[in-house]
Structure 1
Amino acid sequence: MVLLTTPSTVSPSTSILERADLCRPIPENSRKLAQLVEYDESRVEMGSHSVFVREARPPGAHYSKANVLFLHGQSFSSSTWLENNMLRTFAALGYRAIAIDLPGSGQTRGQALSQTEKPVFLMDFIETLGLKKIMVVCASMSSQYILPLMTSNRYLTCVVAVAPSNTHEVTSPASYITPTLVVWGDRDTSLGPTAASNLKNLPNVKLMKITDAGHACYLHNPKHFENVCVNFFELIRNYH
């Protein structure tokens, strides 16, 4: 087993991650239940930013397994995660699903951030909402908010990184202790494979292609994407 920096926190060993079957399908009754999940829209005021937030919670219950924070890519917004009922599906499976418009995008008001400001902004957002047990899904550009936080287990339980950008900046892989699933579409011939090559030596990582999909694999093959995310989350929960 691999011990992370906090003694009480254990993550799956690399061999367990490598052997894990993440393709088990989500039960159809959960997908049907997703049709009944409603989502809320709100704003979180953070200094010069008014952050637009979409959220879906498990139906008929106050308890959630964990918080899943969805961060969109460069040309998208939080509405990306509404397509194909994705937020609702995760909520139906017992997760509190939160998607935000990142600064400079969508309906969030305030200036875009520099690269060095992005992880600080995300830490402030997490602390403002009082979030615990955070599982993150980040797509391409939004990895700039996440990668610097992966050297500590203070905020993140695990990360699903979809063809993340800026992975060339990971120069000391052993220090990136957060359990990570790197996914990319099998038709993505640039950013996805590059990210996989740059991140393959992280201590707690699994690499996985999403079939029949391009760069935005969560839109091209959403069911496969949801399956691997949920199975990864459940695997991490068993070791956390």
Structure 2
Amino acid sequence: MVLVHHQPHHQPTTSGSGSLLERADLSHPIPENARKLAQLVEYDESRVEMGTHSVFVREARPPGAHYAKATVLFLHGQKTLGLKQVMVVSASMSAQFVLPLMTSSRHLSCVVLVAPSNTHEVLNPSSYVVPTLVLWGERDTSLGPTAAANLKNLPTVKLQKIPDAGHACYLHNPKCFENLCVNFFDLIRSYHH
């Protein structure tokens, strides 16, 4: 599970079906110059001491004069690092830890759930207020379709099946996965500025 830092904002309001998120086309490609820049990113790994705990941090710095759109870190330690709003990408079984957080927008800007488990535990969909993108591969015959069926009634959700992919759709069709995630993050960021 990965968290992506995002500036605080107000959550979007929706009025029934046909919300901005539901209508959004997230499939357009990421520009090639952005992909080339991503190959030049430098990584630095370190630890942040938090009392009796040592938290592993991996920092990605953009090349040259480019700015960072986000900070990526593992779940533990965002408070110590001063992060108030985060974007979460959660795959499969890690969803059991993310789903309970989605009833409050206090700390989360948005969530990407990749073929998430435990979606049967969502008993009151209207209480899940965090904008959510649910992804699964077209060859996923279990968790993905089940999650889509269980989460389709969340107030701010986009369901997206990824072509030519199985359960781990980010591995089978990474370009499509990246396009959908980046466009979703940009939509959330743009909608709130």
TM-score (norm 2): 0.85
Deviations 1:146-205 (A, max 9, x none): 111111111100001001111111111101000000000111100111111111110000
What is aligned with 1:157? 109
Which of 130, 142, 151 aligns to 1:178? It is 130
Which AA in structure 2 matches 1:194? Answer: T
Query: Helix, strand or coil for the counterpart of 2:185?
Result: helix
Higher relative contact order (CA 8 A, sep 6+): 2
Deviations 1:71-125 (A, max 9, x none): xxxxxxxxxxxxxxxxxxxxxxx33333x3xxxxxxxxxxxxxxxxxxxxx4x62
Of residues 184-193 and 41-50 in structure 1, the stretch that sits farther from structure 2 once superposed is 41-50
What is aligned with 1:44? 48
Structure 2: how far apart are the matches of 1:141 and 1:125? Answer: 21
Q: Which has the higher helix share?
A: 1
Query: Helix, strand or coil for the counterpart of 1:54?
Result: strand
What is aligned with 2:190? 238
1:135-146 paired onto structure 2 within 5 Å: 135-146=87-98
Which of 209, 215, 236 aligns to 2:167? It is 215
Structure 2: how far apart are the matches of 1:192 and 1:48? Answer: 39
Contact 1:39 1:55 in 2 (8 A): yes
**Does residue 147 of the first structure (1) align with residue 151 of the second (2)?**
no
What is aligned with 2:24? 20
**Does residue 187 of the first structure (1) align with residue 139 of the second (2)?**
yes
Structure 2: how far apart are the matches of 1:183 and 1:202? Answer: 14
- Determine what percentage of the aligned residue pairs are the same residue: 73
Contact 1:181 1:205 in 2 (8 A): yes
User: How many matched pairs?
Assistant: 181
Give ranges in structure 2 of 5+ residues lacking alignment: 1-8
What is aligned with 2:179? 227
What is aligned with 2:3? none
Which AA in structure 1 matches 2:37? Answer: L
Structure 2: how far apart are the matches of 1:235 and 1:43? Answer: 32
Deviations 1:53-85 (A, max 9, x none): 323133335853xxxxxxxxxxxxxxxxxxxxx
Give ranges in structure 1 of 5+ residues lacking alignment: 1-7, 65-93, 101-121
What is aligned with 2:63? 59
